[in-house]
Amino acid sequence: MSASSDHQTEKLCTTPKRSKHQDIKEPRSRTGATAVMIKDVLTFSFSSPRPEDEMFLKRLSRGYLVGKDPGAALFYREEGNKKFQEKDYMGATVLYAKTCLKDITRAQMHGYPERLQLKMMLRKAECLVTLGKLQEASQIISDLESHFTDRQTVAASQFQILQSTLCRLKRKVQEKENPTETFPAALTTGFEDMNLREENEQISCASSSVTLCTDPFKGRSLIATKDILPGELLVREEAFVSVLNPGEMPPRRDGLESKWDTRVTNGDLYCHRCLKHTVATVPCDGCSYAKYCSQECMQQAWDLYHSAECSLGGLLLTLGVFCHTALRATLLARCEDVGNVTRKLCGEISNRDICLPKSKNLVQTVSHDLGGESEENGKTVERPVSGCDVNGKYESNYNAVLHLWPHTRNHSPEHRFLCALSVAALCRQLEAASLQTLTTNLKSSQPKAAVVPAMCQELHIWGVAMLRHMLQLQCNAQAITTIQQTGSKENMVTDSRQVRLATGLFPVVSLLNHSCSPNTSVSFVSTVATVRASQQIGEGQEILHCYGPHESRMGVAERQQKLRSQYFFDCDCLACQNGKCRAAAGPRWEAFRCHCCGELMQGDDVLSCGSASCTESASRDRLVSRLQDLRQRVGKAQTLLRNGKVERAIQLLLGCQRDAESFLSAEHSLVGEIEDALAQAYAALGDWHKSAAHLQRSLRVVEVRHGPASVEMGHELFKLAQIFFNGFAIPEALNTIQKAEKVLLVHYGRGNEEIQELQKMKSCLLDLPPVPEGPAV
């Protein structure tokens, strides 16, 4: 199976409950079997919803406030002022950014107080500079300078403040008109390091060190054509389509505070097109949800897809990110040969989704779809690999996306029905929005808004494409992740965690098959995915990626169940084969220890000490209950730590540490969590020696669970290097920096922010004058 996965389960759709459709009976084919042709499923779903179902969906969609609201600007400004007074500067900045240029224009038109006009014009100029509208900003600045000359009523103190702000704005305009650096040095270095040394002639975006092969049971795969070293870049691919994950956005409730959300989400911090981190976002002119890092990104998004999505914000948030991704992938297909794509949608999509025959010729049928050699009239015929062009090259384009397996037959009828209902609802709304826009344009003399091409005439074709993509996403969507810093800046120690940023489709990355113990590491910069070898890979070995269930995160039984339910295959990778032999003992990071002799406990419902000389036993239920109680106490201590109550947190954590030692293995994950929290607490007090001691104990747990060369180990070594650096433990810091660099370089390359920070720390330490030796004893 050729798929690369989103590491977490997505919300597929939110549709009316099936109280009116309890018995889902899909249409039947001419052979009498239940049809699994996508076009038939969609046709059936178009006629299924009742009027009350559609009204219910509309009510859900209206719960998301995505339109422009004149009253929002004042609210966000006041809330921003509160955040600023609380010294939550990030929150204040995001809330201030929610007010936009059009809010200022409306205020000018509706009698904004004369005494505040100059201040408002300055803010308008700042908005224009941020939006990149430098000519308009320069005109406002010129008008302000004239105001300063004409108006004698401005107080001297206010005049100085306004003049200072005006000078700062003029410098900003000059800097933007004459940029000295197109990209930050760190970002430029990162992208340079991401370039492939020699690109593959057969597979776009891939290294020449791999080749594309097919297997009748596993599907397509990438195989090493030579020995590959750890850290070598194998794939660098821009997402064909990506959609920012909105995060937690519950529908609004009654009341002003719930009408406008003041929480900071990914949607406020990242560009909705390129996923670049930004705080001063440029909002869409037509809706309040989509935000961008620049005017250029906003225009590109509008031209490619947002002109069709803009009026659908509430519905897309209701239906979920998979439905949104499916729509956007179909809209992006317009950028390629529209006639060719339409032909494929009419022909290939409809014809290729018939259920596979239950016969001995199954392998031959699958092989025909994958490519390779087959027999026709007694002759051997070479067929192109699925997704390749006529020249046999696999490109990262819509043709490759179209040929990703939707696994239509494997999805349950209920799942197919819910996906089809979501697409049907979206198609109806697209049709309504297109007709409304077309009617408005015919009546108006203003510039015409974009209309989805041929949407009204070919609605069913677009729906078939969207449904196919929705079904593909369960097995082929990739979670685009980023590393977010979560530590305390005041104590100069940062912690980090991997967070899901967006969902994307990467046709080349999707060629990688799964292993619970992969030989690659996947990371992201903006919408670009990079795949690096995480260990040495021999010539002829398969390039493997983990779809989520990793041997360091869950046991073999849980991994097998997750892979079977989401990806429809039984994993027989080496980690699963070895894990079945060790399943009785369980992983060391989940093991209990004997309270008498300290040996590990073994067994099922009743655990016995593993030592032959010890006869102690214990009920698993009782030990699990103790573990749950301990987790609650650790969580309470972490809350105290976040709230700045460090001393109380330390006392509680030390008690948890003593309790853990009495019944948990030294490598248990909760033991590592306790030690890590103690390290953070002592770092907050500036006790670097104790902090380092506890973090080193946590490191031992991470190493046992994830391995000494794992990316998790790299992040922990980075934290330890910071602690040694802040405590002026120079030899220890330099040694740890070297270890952290070695691990992180394999997974990320030189452009990684943590690697650059390590290099700065090393440079600073090496530049220090030598410490004078004390008198001889």
Per-residue model confidence as pLDDT tens digits over 533-545: 999 999 999 999 9
| Ordered domains of the chain (ranges, CATH) | 71-151+158-176 (no CATH), 195-239+506-583 (2.170.270.10)
Mean pLDDT value of segment 298-324: 91
Structure confidence by residue, pLDDT tens digits, 395-448: 999 989 988 989 888 999 889 889 998 998 888 888 887 656 544 544 444 444
Which has more pLDDT, 225 or 85? 225
More confident residue, 97 or 317: 317
Is the pLDDT at 352 greater than 80? The verdict is no
pLDDT at 268 over 90: no
Q: Is the pLDDT of residue 333 over 80?
A: yes
Cα 188 to Cα 185, 522, 713: the distances in Å are: 5, 20, 26
For residue 84, the model assigns a pLDDT of 63
- Measured in degrees and rounded to the nearest 5, phi and psi for residue 212 equal -95, 125
What are the phi and psi torsion angles at 755 (to 5°)?
A: -65, -40
Please indicate whether residue 252 or residue 671 has the higher confidence score (pLDDT). 671
Strand bridging mode 513-514 / 520-525: unpaired
Of the pLDDT bands very low, low, confident and very high (cuts 50, 70, 90), residue 133 is low
- State residue 502's pLDDT score: 94
pLDDT in tens, 366-388: 334 444 444 555 554 456 678 88
Residues 522-528 have a mean pLDDT of 93
Highest mean pLDDT among 1-5, 127-131, 277-281: 277-281
- What average pLDDT score do residues 484-492 get? 54
For residues 10-39, give the mean pLDDT.
Answer: 44
Cβ atoms of 262 and 255 closer than 8 Å: no
Contact 240, 506 (CB under 8 A): yes
Q: Which of 628, 599, 630, 498 is nearest to 553 (CA)?
A: 498
List, in sequence order, every beta strand (DSSP E) within 449-537.
478-485, 496-505, 513-514, 520-525, 528-533
Give residue 499's pLDDT. Answer: 84
Question: What per-residue confidence (pLDDT) applies to 281?
Answer: 79
Query: Across residues 707-735, what is the average pLDDT?
Result: 93
Could you tell me which residues come within 8 angstroms of residue 181 by beta carbon, excluding any fewer than 6 positions away? none
Lowest mean pLDDT of 76-80, 183-187, 561-565, name the range.
Answer: 183-187
- Specify which residues 607 forms β-bridges with: 603, 618
* pLDDT reading at 257 higher than 80: no
CA distance 200 to 731: 44
pLDDT of 68 reads 67
The residue with greater pLDDT, 10 or 157, is 157
pLDDT band at 70 (very low <50, low <70, confident <90, very high): low
pLDDT above 60 (res 211): yes
* Position with higher pLDDT, 38 vs 221: 221
Mean pLDDT of the chain: 77
**Residue 763 or residue 171, greater confidence:** 763
